Amino acid sequence: MKDSVFLRACRRETTPYTPIWLMRQAGRYMPEYRAVREGVSFLDLCRDSEKAADVTITAARRLQVDAAIIFADILLILEPLEVGLEFTRGDGPNIREPVRSTERVDTLRLYDVRDRLAFVYEAIRLTRSELTEMPLIGFAGAPFTLASYLIEGGGSRNYILTKRFMYEHEPAWHRLMSLLATLVANYLAAQIEAGAQAIQLFDSWVGCLTPQDYVRYVAPHTTVALSKITGRVPVIHFGTGTSGILRAMREAGGDVIGADWRIVLDDAWERIGTDRAIQGNLDPVTLFAPTDVIDRAAKDILRRAAGRPGHIFNLGHGILPETPVDHVKFLIDCVHEASAAGRAT
């Protein structure tokens, strides 16, 4: 397994073809997932280790991808902070009691992630024992993206509350980010002990920041979040809208840096530096296009990677719920076939 195509690419070793997996590969676009979700709420599905392992494995096998990602959510780590996390149908996540004052930050208590999130590690163990043919990725949200949910209370367009808090209450901001970084560091270490063979850190919304603010308010905490696992398994550091901070993200940590579709892959890789691997970067909406357009877009990305070791094919962000499954499968086959042929000639 150490020699799987995915793990080799994370280490920038040569591979016979370009590995591919897809963020949110187990999700609502897939009929098998929707069938499981009919009988159970999203949070209960996450808490049921057997069902979560099953959903992870079903998606990975159906798609024939090169890595599986454990079925969970970045927001589970916020639940024991007692902020009223809920997932409402259609509207996504909601925090009923968001954190909007310095006093409130100081009521948040560090807790034992090994105890409270034990169902995630059990899902990892179950998945590993069954899914022996491909590596398993564990994951967590990065401190900034988690803080944005805590402060906004849900998704946001402009992150005004988050940024205002950061600017007005800098010491309390750093206390909040430190707390989150410690929780994430412990959570990731426990996932590796349970058997995760790579880790992805999702800083999905960090691209809303100026590069200066990223360096001042975020990067040091990201480094702490990754500190316990650096060098143990490959780490993928992912965000969207990050074209202007790719270099700073690389400095904060990660063996593989994620790029979204708003930048061409060769340009992104140059910014990151070719002494790191890269993951990306097809626009998820391309999967709604006719297959000849998907084929062209995928091959353009492969051409830009130019066969250089260290490219993991993925979307620039998660698969959208309405995506046609046969187009997802088409993409995976296309990447495998085109990259293998390219390497043979």
- The residue ranges that bind ligand CP3 (CB under 6 A) are 23-28, 37, 42, 69, 71-75, 87, 92-93, 139, 155, 202, 204, 317-318
Joined together, the tokens standing for residue 273 give 């530096």
Q: Which of 121, 149, 214, 217 is catalytic?
A: 149
CB of 291 to ligand CP3, least distance (A): 23
Q: Which is nearer to ligand CP3, 195 or 342 (CB)?
A: 195
CB of 277 to ligand CP3, least distance (A): 19
CB of 71 to ligand CP3, least distance (A): 5
Residue 119 DSSP symbol: H
Q: Which is nearer to ligand CP3, 12 or 191 (CB)?
A: 191
How far from each other are the two terminal CA atoms of the chain, in whole angstroms? Answer: 27
Q: Which of 8, 12, 24, 47 is catalytic?
A: 24
73 by DSSP, 3-state: which?
Answer: coil
Helices within the chain (DSSP H only): 5-10, 31-38, 42-47, 49-63, 102-105, 113-116, 118-130, 143-152, 160-168, 170-194, 211-213, 219-227, 246-252, 265-272, 291-305, 325-344
Q: Measured in whole angstroms, how far is the alpha carbon of residue 65 from the centre of its chain?
A: 16
Q: Which of 48, 73, 203, 255 is catalytic?
A: 73
Q: Which is nearer to ligand CP3, 158 or 345 (CB)?
A: 158
Q: Which is nearer to ligand CP3, 80 or 309 (CB)?
A: 80
CB of 340 to ligand CP3, least distance (A): 25
Residue 284 DSSP symbol: G
Active site residue 24: yes
Active site residue 73: yes
334 by DSSP, 3-state: which?
Answer: helix
Q: Which is nearer to ligand CP3, 226 or 338 (CB)?
A: 226
CB of 90 to ligand CP3, least distance (A): 8
Active site residue 28: yes
Q: What does residue 49 show for φ and ψ, rounded to 5 degrees?
A: -55, -40
Q: Residue 38 burial (CB < 10 Å; 0-12/13-18/19+)?
A: exposed
Contact between 240 and 260 (Cβ < 8 Å)? yes
Active site residue 149: yes
Active-site positions read: 24, 28, 37, 73, 149
